[in-house]
Structure 1
């Protein structure tokens, strides 16, 4: 009986470990977004708090949020010592919570990439169409 209980417990723990390592498939928003603050990035691991713009118009927030929700999760290799994202993004939610993101937009016609600060190995690909929308939003701020 103890062996069976031990094997069941071991199986449960193993399954739990594998579940914790699974890659998120889409970006998750915590609540309704109240504002999005944008800064030029200084590198991975933190957010530059010298914001160049803050988006608080509902229509612009909706467009920005839709582009993020459409992003597809994938594991990636990021050299945090030599690479640098284009922008740092601070999303503020109506419930008071926040998310820090790094955004890489790349060249025109290419996919972009977004990742949660501190979780750079798990990125989300942004389609070239949505990357164009984000670039348009950022250049008009």
Structure 2
């Protein structure tokens, strides 16, 4: 009987540990965004600082922020030698803090993915609706 209880307890603990490792968390937004700079990506790791667009308008920043807040986290394996993100994004917060992101932009009707620069095993899926919003935002810059 003790072996059965011990076995069940260990199984339950293992299940809890496995569940805690899933990354169903939304993206972390560190506060009010003051500026978003966008560049074509050169690959994973660092951010390309040759920005082709800068978003400073509050209305557009709010739309961009809404897309990021609705992104769903997940563990992933990326082949950083063959896959290249489409865009690098630098988010500057009013506090002075920054986030560097990589964006793999899907086509209309597809999901997109955003990844913190330097943390390529943890990505965030953006819904097809969010992809449509991003395409519109990036096309108007």
TM over 0.5: yes
Gap regions ≥5 residues in structure 1: 1-16
- Partners in 1 of 2:24 and 2:54 — Cα distance? 27
Shift of residue 23, structure 1, vs aligned partner: 2.7
Gap regions ≥5 residues in structure 2: 1-16
Q: Which runs of 4+ in 1 moved over 3 A?
A: none
Tell me the secondary structure at the aligned position of residue 62 of structure 1: helix
Paired residue total: 125
Q: TM-score, normalised by structure 1?
A: 0.84
1:1-141 matches, within 5 Å, as 23=23, 25-141=25-141
User: Per-residue CA shift, 1:12-47, capped at 9, x if unaligned?
Assistant: xxxxx98x9563611011110000000000000010
